[in-house]
């Protein structure tokens, strides 16, 4: 009898965590490594949020919380959805989890049966298909390549839907590409979904506040109110509020689904950290002005990285609308050789040789389901980004035809 669960055979380790760990190991060996793999802001959590946590500790808010979250946070989330997204979720339609990952996992665990399919546009965040697989579902990948600016077309969505489709998993702005859908682009997708009443929508809006220029963020149930009853709108405080380590994600959706997720969470972790929840109340209810300040810094970094990468031989880097990633193509380098004679035969080889030669750690695109590309997180200083891009330019120039 096998000791480990068969479900583990369907799961791959996180490539982003692996790259970050590899960079740490090389740094520990004394190598000069610039790590561009981590998906978290380099800003500190704002002081008012930290102060709210300290005050919660001093008040003794250190006990178990309700599984779905403290009432104050569920109310703050409902108010946020109304204020920013035009979505009317009552507090009982809201659930708080230990990060966005738990929200997604619980939604799949609560709804997935063997044979159920989940449509996932590629490139995708590395954890999506693994969560679906662990919960017994079947991920269905639909390519959304550089030719469509990494956005899914309505025709491709229509073609992917089958009688077995349970969820359409949607992420805008996207990790890893940074692509964000305009209202019209999103409406074209929701028009398709309106024709298939058995398909539910799980939208990951984690990068909502990180959009650049005059781009306006919208979410599916906002664009098509008729989808409200079969949409789970997921978000969190990790990215916009620089609270990755506080581990608070949340979602709004139909009461029946929220209750099912609550039941699973009740047997799994119970309520999220009480102190983190009080900090999140302040994040959502308190001053929001720092978001625009941080967004301007991210936009400046984005423009620097896109410009410098497009000056590198064989690299094509589109300008993303949001998040803090770029997803350049290294197609122009496939077939070239390093000075040591290694053939660059894939994006995975490219990032491995780049790390060895220049000490720049990025994540290969095939880990996100679409190559030959690689992902760079520009959630680090302009100095580090400029130096990293110079090293990438130097590495690309060194490759021989």
pLDDT, tens digit (0-9, with 9 covering 90-100), for 215-233: 999 999 999 999 999 999 9
Instruction: Determine the pLDDT at residue 127.
Output: 94
pLDDT of residue 39: 84
pLDDT of residue 27: 86
Contact 96, 73 (CB under 8 A): yes
Side-chain-side CA neighbours of 207 within 13 Å: the count stands at 29
Mean of pLDDT values over 384-393: 98
The percent of residues above 90 in pLDDT, for the chain, comes to: 92
pLDDT at 10 over 90: no
CATH placement of domain 63-285: 3.40.640.10
pLDDT at 154 over 80: yes
Q: Name the residue ranges covered by the structural domains of the chain.
A: 6-44+290-398, 63-285
At residue 297, the pLDDT reads 98
What phi and psi values does residue 212 have, to the nearest 5 degrees? -120, 160
Condensed to tens digits (0 to 9), the pLDDT of residues 234-293 reads 999 999 999 999 999 999 999 999 999 999 999 999 999 999 999 999 999 999 999 999
- Strand, coil or helix: 153: coil
Strands 249-252 and 231-236: antiparallel
Residues 301, 382 contacting (CB under 8 angstroms): yes
11 pLDDT higher than 90: no
Q: What number is the average pLDDT over the span 32-47? A: 93
Give residue for tokens 């035009």: 86
- The C-alpha atoms of residue 337 and residue 273 are separated, in whole angstroms, by 50
pLDDT at 26: 86
Cα separation, 401 vs 399, whole angstroms: 7
Average pLDDT, whole number, for the chain? 96
CATH architecture type of domain 6-44+290-398: Alpha-Beta Complex (3.90)
Per mean pLDDT, which range of 3-17, 206-220, 317-331, 360-374 is the poorest?
3-17
pLDDT tens readout for residues 57-107? 999 999 999 999 999 999 999 999 999 999 999 999 999 999 999 999 999
Q: How confident is the model at residue 200 (pLDDT cuts 50, 70, 90)?
A: very high
pLDDT band at 142 (very low <50, low <70, confident <90, very high): very high
pLDDT (average), residues 340-344: 96
């Amino acid at each position: 009898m096998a000791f480990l669960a068969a479900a583990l055979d369907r799961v791959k380790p996180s490539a982003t965590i692996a790259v970050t760990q590899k960079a740490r190991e090389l740094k520990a060996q004394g190598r000069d490594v610039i790590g561009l793999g981590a998906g978290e802001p380099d800003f500190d959590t704002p002081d008012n949020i930290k102060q709210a946590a300290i005050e919660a500790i001093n008040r003794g808010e250190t006990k178990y919380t309700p599984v779905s979250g403290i009432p104050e946070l569920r109310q703050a989330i409902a108010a946020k959805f109304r204020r920013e997204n035009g979505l009317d979720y009552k507090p009982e339609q809201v659930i708080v989890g230990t990060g966005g990952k738990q929200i997604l996992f619980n939604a799949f665990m609560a709804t997935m049966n063997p044979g159920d399919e989940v449509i996932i546009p590629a490139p995708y965040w590395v954890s999506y298909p693994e969560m679906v697989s662990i919960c017994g579902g079947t991920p269905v990948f639909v390519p959304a390549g550089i030719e469509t600016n990494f956005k899914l077309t309505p025709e491709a969505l229509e073609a992917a839907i089958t009688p077995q489709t349970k969820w359409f998993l949607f992420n805008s702005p996207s990790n890893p590409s940074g692509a964000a859908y305009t209202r019209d682009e999103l409406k074209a997708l929701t028009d398709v979904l309106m024709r298939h009443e058995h398909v539910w929508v799980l939208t990951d809006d984690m990068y909502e506040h990180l959009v650049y220029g005059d781009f306006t963020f919208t979410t599916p149930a906002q664009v098509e109110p008729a989808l409200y009853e079969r949409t789970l709108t997921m978000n969190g405080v990790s990215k916009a509020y620089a609270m990755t380590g506080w581990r608070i994600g949340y979602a709004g959706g139909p009461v029946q689904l929220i209750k099912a997720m609550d039941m699973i969470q009740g047997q799994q972790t119970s309520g999220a950290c009480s102190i983190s929840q009080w900090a999140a109340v302040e994040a959502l209810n308190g001053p929001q002005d720092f978001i625009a300040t941080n967004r301007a810094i991210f936009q400046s970094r984005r423009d620097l990285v896109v410009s410098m990468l497009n000056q590198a031989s064989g690299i094509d880097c589109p300008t993303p609308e949001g998040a803090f990633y770029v997803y350049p193509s290294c197609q122009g380098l496939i077939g070239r050789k390093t000075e040591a004679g290694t053939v660059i035969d894939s994006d995975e080889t490219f990032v491995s040789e780049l790390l060895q030669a220049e000490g720049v750690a990025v994540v290969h695109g095939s880990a996100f389901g679409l190559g030959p590309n690689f992902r760079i997180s520009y959630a680090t200083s302009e100095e580090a980004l400029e130096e990293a891009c110079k090293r990438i330019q130097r590495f690309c120039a060194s490759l021989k035809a």
